[in-house]
Amino acid sequence: MSVNLTLVLVASVLVGAGAYLFLSRSLIRALMGFLLMGNGVNLFFVIGSGPPGSPPIVGAEDGGPMADPIPQALVLTAIVITLAMTAFVLALAHRSWQVARDDLVPDDTESARIHARSEAEDGDEEAYDETDDTTGEEAR
């Protein structure tokens, strides 16, 4: 099966850019990343559905090859689900803005406390920087 190279490239760029944004601490940026990745994945579905054809509706085709209807149904469902999730994340970001005036993901206080305790027991200045980094990553 030959696939459309342009579509593959577009999908890859979407997923790549999305992944980059997703790793950001800002909730809205992460949401944008999620949207880009979601569209990229949907595009993969379309690529995987094989060569394009006339619309997959009985009675509407002009005798040519019909497109595969199942991936289209799947993508449609996926889009709806993505929309619902987007709505929820937006609400979450809004609430986060309301209560904290900020949409950055903060560190987990309890983890940070346990790290701090182990540092106090070690008394090691070097370990401090390392654990600080790991807490940041966990909370992301």
Residues that bind other proteins (CB under 8 A): 22, 27, 30, 34, 37-38, 41, 44-45, 47-49, 70-71, 74, 77-78, 81, 84-85, 88-89, 92, 95-96, 98-100, 105-106, 108, 110-111, 114, 138-140
**What CA–CA distance (Å, rounded) separates 2 from 138?**
42
Q: Which C-beta is closer to other proteins: that of 54 or that of 95?
A: 95
Q: Extract the runs of DSSP E, i.e. beta strands, from the chain.
A: none
Q: How far is the CB of 139 from other proteins (least distance, A)?
A: 6
Q: How far is the CB of 125 from other proteins (least distance, A)?
A: 21
Q: How far is the CB of 58 from other proteins (least distance, A)?
A: 13
Q: Which C-beta is closer to other proteins: that of 96 or that of 128?
A: 96
- At 66 the three-state DSSP class reads strand
Q: How far is the CB of 71 from other proteins (least distance, A)?
A: 6
Dihedrals phi, psi of 65, to nearest 5 degrees: -70, 140
93 in Cβ contact with 30 (< 8 Å): no
The structure tokens listed for 115 are 């790290």
The structure tokens listed for 36 are 């880009």
